[in-house]
Structures are given as structure tokens and as C-alpha cells.
Amino acid sequence: MTTDEYIPFTKPTISKEAIQEVVDCLESGWLATGPRTQKFENLLAEYFGVPCVQSCISATAGLLMVLESIDLQPGDEVITTPMTFAATANTIVLAGGTPVMVDVEPETYNIDPKCVEKAITKRTKAIMPVHFAGLPVDLDAIYGLASKHGLRVIEDVAHAMGGSYKGKKLGSFGDTQVFSFHPNKNMTTGEGGAIVTRDEKMRKHINYLRFHGIDRESWNRFAKGGSQLYDIVLPGYKFNFMDIQAALGIHQLAALDGFNAKRKELAERYYSLLKDFSELSLPVQPSYDHLHAWHLFTPLINEEKAGVTRDEFIEEMKKHNIGIGLHYQAIHLHSYYRKTYGYKEGDFPHAEFISDRIFSLPLFPKMTHSDQDRVVGAMAKVFRK
């Protein structure tokens, strides 16, 4: 047991300026979608270098609206990875599609383009890669397959805000990207998400879907004396972003590259502190011109060498007041996916190998070197080094 303060696996960094902006927003009387949301969307568009970004209440809502916009019919397939959060696969189902999972690359834990290619059928409509832990997917291969087979690409960038692929920022190119601003992610607005798409029809549809199916483009509610009239063009959701969230987001976005630089520095320090830990295999570093967003630092445990199971390790670290994350138990082995689609053990050997051994070490911008030394010291004790 220890009297040291608890180190969580992650925690957000909220500046005084952001807190003041939230207070200002509350005092302004405009709490829901309004001028701060508009400003935040403009700043995001500038960040990505794109004409338009759409905010929404969460990445889950964003993924759902994007998938609904491609009009999946019963039996239409979307290829994705089992190494992801529930939202990726769930939204495919909720949008009326069939999730087709394929195995990941053993080194990157990202979807394997060779497995994607084998899974493409006449019913395939889209590929949904996830930039796992912040490490960019092999997008040249994915977009190559998509153009060869006429498929949409919906990138789940929940882990990789601020990351880049071959020198190009994720979100600045390609088909459609969805970002998350949940407090665990690289920047936060409490709950929140954003969508970038180059598909004008999708953009318009999402504008309707995120606010009751109301045509707001002909309904200028910011103008004084703006018309109270509107038209409902489809049955939409209530997925719009709030100015309270935007008040945080404006400051989080300005700090993002600094946060990510700190994450990178800490990740590099983990590599040097853990290099002699034969109980672990450390995640790969990007091999070419990628900027890893270092959302997570995810070693695999070698239980035989460690003398403890992964789950015992997580429990032991808790006794040292250290929070270890688990991202993720492979999606295809959850009961809904087994029952509904017949997935079973052995379907995706790489994903299952990773899923059985993976854990996430504490990593967040405010983490100090002494926090990190404590984490590594506790691991040495648990492994009886």
C-alpha cells in the first residue's frame, strides 16, 4: 500500500482562461448552439485547413450521422476493426448496416489493409479505420482499396486529433473523418465531437440530422428579428453542440499541439524507462513521416515473464495508487456481436492476442517525470524486478 496520490491513466488539462470563458459564456445568457460554437467550428476548419467542420455532441453521434448519410440498406456492409471502442461498431449497426470486422496488423494494432481487401464483397459500402492509440492507419492502402472498389472511407479519428499521416494532418484530406472531444481524448469539450467531410450532400444531411431535421440554412436565428419560421425536412436528432462546450474547446484547440508534444515527450521517456522490461512488448513507433498523437501508450504484457496475468497486474497497480486503462477487449467477442453475427474466438488471432495482453499506462499532458518514475517503479515491484 502507498500513501502517494492517485495517478489516473488520463486526466484533462483545463486552463484558467478556459474556465473563465465558460463563466463568460454562462453570463452571456447564450448556452446552447450560438456564437461560440460558430467560432469553434471556424477555428477547427482553420486547424484542418478545410472550408467547413461540423460540431456535434459526441463522436458517437458524429459517426452515427455520417453512417446514416451514406444510406445503408439491410445487408450493406461496413468493414472495421475489432480493436476499437464500442461506438465504432455499434454505430454501423444503429445506422442499419452490417459490421464486418477484420484482423489488425500485429505491430501497429491498426486494421490490416490486406484483410480489408479479402473482406470486400458486392455489399461492401464503406471502410471504417480507427487510428489506434493515435498511430495513423496505412491510409494510402485504405484509400487505394476504396477507389479501386468504389467505397466510402469513414475515419474514426477519436484517438488521433492533431496526428498526421506522411506530413498531412488527419482531417485535412481524404473522405470523411470523425473526432472526439471526450475528457479522455487529446483535447476535450466535456462531451463533444466533430465531423469533416468533403461530401457536400453528406454535410447538408448532417446539418439536418443534428438539429431535428430543421432547415436552419434558410432560418437565420442569429439575426435580430430573424424569422421564427422553419421547415422540418426529415426526422432529425438533437445532436447539436453547446456554446458551453465551445467555450472549453476554443482554448483546448489552441493548446492541442502543445498537449500532443508533451504526450510525445512522455511516450519517448516511457521507451527509455521500460527498455529493459522483458515482461513487456512496447508499442511500435511510427516508421515514416507520421505524427503519432500518443492518445494512449499501450504495451502488451508477457504473463509468463511477468509472473502475473494482465488483469492481476492492473489490480496490483491499483494498490500502488496507479490507474491502468484497458483499451480494448476486442469488439467481436462481446456478447451482442457473438450472438448477432456469430463471431467467436479464433476469428482474428492478432486482435485477440493483443486484446488479451494490452493495457494503457498513465499518459496525459500534466503528468510529471516523477509521476512517470512512480509508475515505472510500481511496475518493477509488481514484476518483482
Ligand X SMILES: *Cc1c(COP(=O)(O)O)cnc(C)c1O
Question: At closest approach, how far in Å is the CB of 239 from ligand X?
Answer: 11
Q: How far apart are the first and last CA of the chain?
A: 18
Q: Which CB sits closer to ligand X, 87 or 266?
A: 87
39: annotated active-site residue: no
Toward ligand X, which CB reaches closer, 193 or 279?
Answer: 193
At closest approach, how far in Å is the CB of 128 from ligand X?
10
> Of 16, 185, 201, 385, which is the active-site residue?
185
Shortest separation between residue 197's beta carbon and ligand X, angstroms: 17
**Residues lying near ligand X in the complex (CB under 6 A):** 58-60, 84-85, 87-88, 130, 156, 158-159, 180, 182, 193
The minimum distance between CB 191 and ligand X, in angstroms, equals: 6
Nearer to ligand X, 93 or 376 (CB): 93
Looking at beta carbons only, is 297 or 383 nearer to ligand X?
A: 297
**Closer Cβ to ligand X, 21 or 155, answer by number:** 155
Q: Which is nearer to ligand X, 84 or 164 (CB)?
A: 84
SS (H, E, C) the chain: CCCCCCECCCCCCCCHHHHHHHHHHHHHCCCCCCHHHHHHHHHHHHHHCCCCCEEECCHHHHHHHHHHHCCCCCCCEEEECCCCCHHHHHHHHHCCCEEEECCECCCCCCECHHHHHHHCCCCEEEEECECHHHCCCCHHHHHHHHHHHCCEEEEECCCCCCCEECCEECCCCCCEEEEECCCCCCCCCCCCEEEEECCHHHHHHHHHHCECCECCCCCCCCCCCCCCCCCECCCCCECCCCHHHHHHHHHHHHHHHHHHHHHHHHHHHHHHHCCCCCCEECCCCCCCCCECCCCCECCEECHHHHCCCHHHHHHHHHHCCECCECCCCCHHHCHHHHHHHCCCCCCCHHHHHHHHHECEECCCCCCCHHHHHHHHHHHHHHCCC
Active-site residue set: 185
